[in-house]
Structure 1
């Protein structure tokens, strides 16, 4: 390395350090104003993969912090999943897990049965959310139940607005989140589908899809 190259590299390093110092100062100033805490209504939606996976990541964070949490699965039925197996085997003392669905609607082919299952899941969800010992409650794939009108979106919204304890986080996953839900949510993430192996004939695999 020549002296000229060394000098140029040193100049670039100094400029980078100065730029990052300014960015840090600006970021620290912003962060100093963020002092409030509250239980969030969090929505994961969109056609892309990762909605439930991301939500379970937050459940596992709660478990890691020793914070009680709960999961209600609205659609998934008897199908085994890695998350459920891990939680029930090792963390059932701190995370309740309720699989209340009976599979996707095209599997049951019985609307009345689907409505009844969704209603039972919603009653369990309300019970868990009202229990202030639970720091987070995940309502996995509730958006699907809402999309097919198995549940009344107005009832769900009113409950989250008026009965959810102030410090309880509620996470709602599934495609096609209703506008009414998005409007009251504190955090909404839409997963965008760009590529999916299913289109290439690759089936769902353990550790990736379930």
Structure 2
């Protein structure tokens, strides 16, 4: 009994330690998945990213285990900047008939300051993305996987990911901010001024954590 308790304690501590990583890790190449996962990703992304540019300026994706997948993308259209928010009508993985799953999409124009700040945030995320020392870091089962994508000056798409960040961590704040940007795109009453301030504070904290790390 004591041995089982020690093993469970070790596993719990290990998970907590792994969860403390305060930067994204490079997303696995989706082409490397096989079987059902490959079929899932090949089917959902063309639908979830409908209306998005092939080369993302700043794109956020939330992939919950049981709830509907959703995303946003910052887009420039006819000289104006928008956040375009997309959401599946139901969880695509568990849908009995995936052909019946619909996409809900809406967009809202961004002011220039917020647009610039979102781009700055995603560029910093790319700079700080780092492969973890332990390959098991950030791996989970029931939770949410988040992807953050942007395109560098060479035209290369960079995607970082994190899984269900710890409470009160920098990555949890990042997810909260991105969820608010997504809600803004859906037409909810989200203040662009408040978002600007939240991103500015997070940027400063991310820069500080990188210096300390």
| TM interval, short-chain normalised | under 0.3
TM-score, normalized by length of structure 1?
Answer: 0.23
Higher strand share: 2
Q: Which is bigger in relative contact order (C-alpha 8 A, separation at least 6)?
A: 1
Higher helix share: 1
